[in-house]
Amino acid sequence: MTTLSERFGYMVWMREFELACLEGVPTREIHSELHTAIGQEAIGAGMAGFLRADDSLSSTHRNHLHGIAKGVNMRAMLAEIFEKETGLCGGFGGHMHLFDPGLKFSTTGIVGAGVPVSVGHALAARARGDDAVAVAVVGDGAVNTGAFHEALNFAGVHRLPLVVLVENNEWAISVPFEKASATPTVAERASAWACFGTRVDGTDVEAVADAFGAAVERARRGGGPSIVEATCYRFRGHFEGDADTYRSEQEKSARRALDPLDIAARALIDRGEASAEQIDQRRQTVRTAMAEMLASVRADQQPLPEKALNHVFRPVS
């Protein structure tokens, strides 16, 4: 079992990772629209510890925390996001296209497209006859894509070991969830695909861990697919550069006040598992480590232009 203190540790790393990414935007080291998940750390950290290397995880455009939760090398991720040849994909992917085949981790910039991919992973477990679990993380916007429906239906028919974790941050860019979804929650739709469905407070890392862990366990035991909906809020614009005028200042400040890191820190303090100073110190330590990682990544080279034509096809042997 992962403790709250450990989960808090994940959250701190996740937050600092995102803050490090932000540094690359004004400097144009990252020359595309960066999506951070600041405010959604309790979900990423809630997932941590349940997945084995042979479990798979597919993620989205807002994927950094999921990579960290899956155990993907953070430096390699950061280097990919900073467009370095030392990156997870040698700089060919960019921040929306992270692949770690050893950990069965992948992402896509196409909303909803990861869910069928995860069903493929789940089908592989079925074909092998082992107990690997496939996890797909998507945003609330993805649940209205055709891909989501086709994938979940297939998983439901075959009772596949699939967990779909929906990060419901209430917005898909400027479109609020209630104007996009016919139902007030995602979880209540689960029975349409013979899935188990549950909804949790995604700012509460232990609530997420409980729900996610139970779903993974169910899938592993052959209990079939689940949808875990975790409510949350993204603290920044959809991408860096988004004027974010579609959300009221009132809403934003009210929701930012519910910082999952603070919530977890408070719980640790309340339970006597850490003092405020210790919390600060932990954050400071990670901040320093992250700054070092960032500095080191920044010193790396961009991929060599002459390599740009590689990897379209496999080299002819």
Partner 1 sequence: MGRNLNISQCVAEALTLEMHRDDRVMVIGEDVGRQGGVFGATRGLHKAFGDLRVVDTPISETAITGMGVGLAMEGYRPVLEIMFVDFIGVCLDQVYNAIAKNHYMSGGRVTMPIVIKTAGGCIGSGAQHSQCLWGLFAHLPGLKVVAPSNPYDAKGLMAAAVESDDPVIYIEHKGLLLSRADDFTFGNDVPEGRYTVPIGQAAVIRPGTHLTLATLSGTVLPAFAAAERLASEGIDVEVIDLRSVVPLDVATVAQSVEKTRRLLVVDEDYLSFGLSAELVTRVLEAGVSIRSFSRHAVPDVPIPGALSLERAVVPNQSSIEGAIREVVARP
Ligand X SMILES: Cc1ncc(C[n+]2csc(CCOP(=O)(O)OP(=O)(O)O)c2C)c(N)n1
Report in angstroms how near the CB of residue 175 gets to its own copies at its nearest: 10
Plot region of 287 (φ>0 → left; ψ -120 to 50 → alpha; else → beta): alpha
CB of 154 to partner 1, least distance (A): 5
Is residue 110 within 8 Å of 159, Cβ to Cβ? no
Could you tell me the smallest distance in angstroms from the CB atom of residue 41 to partner 1? Answer: 24
Q: Which is nearer to ligand X, 33 or 210 (CB)?
A: 33
The total number of residues written for the chain in this structure: 317
Smallest distance from the beta carbon of 145 to ligand X, in angstroms?
Answer: 6
- Could you list the active site residues? 234, 238, 246
Pick what 62 binds: ligand X, its own copies, partner 1, none; C-beta below 5 to 8 Å, kind-dependent. ligand X
In the list 5, 32, 73, 144, the residue contacting its own copies (rule: CB under 8 A) is 144
Q: If contact means CB under 5 to 8 A according to the sort of partner, which of its own copies, Mg ion, partner 1, none does residue 313 touch?
A: partner 1
Please identify, among the stretches 135-143, 155-163, 180-188, 283-291, the one whose residues bind Mg ion according to the rule CB under 5 A.
135-143
Instruction: Report if residue 293 touches its own copies, rule: CB under 8 A.
Output: no
Stretch that binds ligand X, among 166-174, 205-213, 281-289, 307-315 (CB under 6 A): 166-174
Closer residue to partner 1 (CB): 131 or 201: 131
